[in-house]
Amino acid sequence: MKPPPFTYHRARDVAGAADLVAELGEDAKFLAGGQSLIPMMNFRLARPEHLIDIGGLRELSFVDAGPEALRVGSLTTHRTVETADLGTGFDVVREAMRWIGHLPIRTRGTVGGSLAHADATAEWCLLAVLLDAEIVVAGAGGRRRTIAAGDAFLGFYTTLLADDELIVEVVFGRPAPHAAVTEFAERKGDFAVVSAAVDLDVGSGAVAGGRVALGGVGPAVVRVPEAERVLQAGGRACRDLFEACADAAAQAVDPPADGDAGTEYRRALVRNLVIRACEEAVAR
């Protein structure tokens, strides 16, 4: 299947890309790895008249892993992150990459493309929301701003990004040595039916708080305060605590029923996956 006709533009730098998309208006789209946009065009779910290819902007492809923060450029591929040394504080980011599609998709698909596409089970969205990441964007005229990941994902494939804004990088501002991501998909390489991620505050065998994020339970990735309150109350890092946290998460969500899974099946997945994520996180 071939996409509908479009005019191809190649961006020379970030400022030029942002200015050009502002000039061309809402009929223009950035093209990064093409792993979501091109299939959508082939299926006629998207019909941009102009594609601005940002694939040559090498300054947007980097991983900067320090002890206190991890910065990942928007054009960095999933595979680059999967094979990078991110240090123990950010192991969860590297390990989450193996859940994304198949190797050829991970080799072409990019961090910025995933965040902008905002699938409700995208691993990058899940990580960004879980770890309170910040998304740095560039606009026309050299404008820059930072969006908190918690505010970024508004609904089905919808973000706070303006049409003329380009994601430059995502910044994970604190290490998460006891975090884990896990999920269930029908087949290896499929998008998750449900995904779960936790980031636990653990010390001396006890949990003193933490964060819980879920994908596949609504139009966008969400944090689950009800489950986080169970972690906040604290206790020994053991199965009973994780089950209480998972029960709270399962009761808090109202997952959709669709061709992949019914509401109650998804709720059961939430419970099992939150327990598994807690156990993996604490075992680090």
Alpha-carbon distance of 148 to 142, in angstroms, equals 20
Kindly state whether residue 37 participates in binding ligand FAD, applying the rule CB under 6 A: yes
Q: Judged by CB under 6 A, which stretch of 64-72, 102-110, 147-155, 245-253 contacts ligand FAD? A: 102-110
- Number of residues in contact with ligand FAD, rule: CB under 6 A? 28
Residue 3 binds ligand FAD, judged by CB under 6 A? no
Report the residue number, 42 or 232, with the smaller CB distance to ligand FAD: 42
- Min dist. Cβ of residue 156 to ligand FAD (A): 13
Nearer to ligand FAD, 153 or 191 (CB): 191
Q: Shortest gap between Cβ of 275 and ligand FAD (angstroms)?
A: 22
Residue located via tokens 């973000």: 159
Taking alpha carbons only, the member of 169, 173, 117, 118 closest to residue 146 is 169
CA distance 71 to 197: 20
> From CA 75, how far away is CA 64, in angstroms rounded?
13
Q: List the one residue from 11, 72, 149, 166 that touches ligand FAD (CB under 6 A).
A: 166
Considering beta carbons, is residue 116 or 197 the nearer one to ligand FAD? 116
Q: Say how far apart CA 257 and CA 260 lie, in whole Å.
A: 8
Alpha-carbon dihedral sign for residues 58, 60, 62, 66: positive
Report which of 252, 242, 228 is spatially closest to residue 272, judged by C-alpha positions: 242
Query: How far is CA 96 from each of CA 78, 89, 239, rounded to the nearest angstrom?
Result: 9, 14, 23
Task: Tell me the window of 29-37, 65-73, 255-263, 265-273 that interacts with ligand FAD (CB under 6 A).
Answer: 29-37
Which of 110, 164, 207, 241 is in the footprint of ligand FAD by CB under 6 A?
110
Task: Give the number of other Cβ atoms within 10 Å of residue 158's Cβ.
Answer: 12
Among 3, 112, 175, 210, binds ligand FAD (CB under 6 A): 112
Rounded-to-integer distance, Cα 38 and Cα 252, Å: 36
Q: Which of 122, 130, 147, 275: binder of ligand FAD (CB under 6 A)? A: 122
117 binds ligand FAD (CB under 6 A): yes
Decide: is 30 part of the binding site for ligand FAD (CB under 6 A): yes
**Chain centroid to CA 205:** 29
Q: How many angstroms separate the CA atoms of 224 and 200, rounded?
A: 14
d(CA 68, CA 65): 8
Residue 241 sits in the site that holds ligand FAD (CB under 6 A): no
181 interacts with ligand FAD by CB under 6 A: no
Binding site for ligand FAD (CB under 6 A): 29-37, 39, 74, 99-101, 105, 109-110, 112-114, 116-117, 119, 122-123, 166-167, 191
